[in-house]
Amino acid sequence: MIKLCRKQESKPRSISSIKTLIKFIKNIYYEIMSNFVLEKVKYGIEGECCHCGDCCRFMYSLDIYTEEEFNFLTNFYPKYKRFKVIGKDEYGNLILACKFIDETGLCPDYENRLEMCKDYPNPAKIKAGGRLYKRCTYKLIPEREFESFLSPEKQRRRV
């Protein structure tokens, strides 16, 4: 014998349980959105060049793993012939150094340097996985504090 269940009449929810549900949904939303904070953070650069030269002596390539690949690249981009291969990083990417930098950390071809050199340090590249060098005196400063991305409840808990 099959029993059929009659639809029970739904009881009106209390205001406090609705508020609790809304708070719960908001917390889930803020938790999910906190995973995307780095995508939203914008950075500015402060400081001045200290002429350590590390940005010219240790340039990290992406997806260039062999000297053959690097030499092939220089056929299409002759301006990259100013770099030499000096090693590999922990992921196997080539580490390059500029042939032009002198012992004082200055570029003798400063007026004709590449855009990537003029652009250093580029916040977008650093945010995408690049890094400032240890001796570099530039600072990466978020334009908005991390706490401002948190829900009001989490901001109160951090105090």
Percent of the chain residues past pLDDT 70, beyond the cut: 72
Task: Give the lowest-confidence range in 62-66, 134-138, 145-149.
Answer: 145-149
CA 66 vs CA 87, 95, 125: distances in Å: 10, 10, 22
Q: Encode pLDDT of 15-43 as tens digits.
A: 778 888 887 787 777 667 666 555 567 78
The string of DSSP codes covering 14-79 is PHHHHHHHHHHHHHHHHHHHHTTHHHH--EEEES------HHHHSEEPSS--SHHHHHHHHHH-GG
pLDDT bucket at 150, cuts 50 / 70 / 90? low
Q: Given a cut of 70, is residue 60 above it in pLDDT?
A: yes
What pTM did the predictor assign? Answer: 0.60
> What's the mean per-residue pLDDT of the chain?
80
Q: Given a cut of 80, is residue 86 above it in pLDDT?
A: yes
Percent of the chain residues past pLDDT 90, beyond the cut: 31
Count of C-beta atoms within a 10 Å radius of residue 98: 19
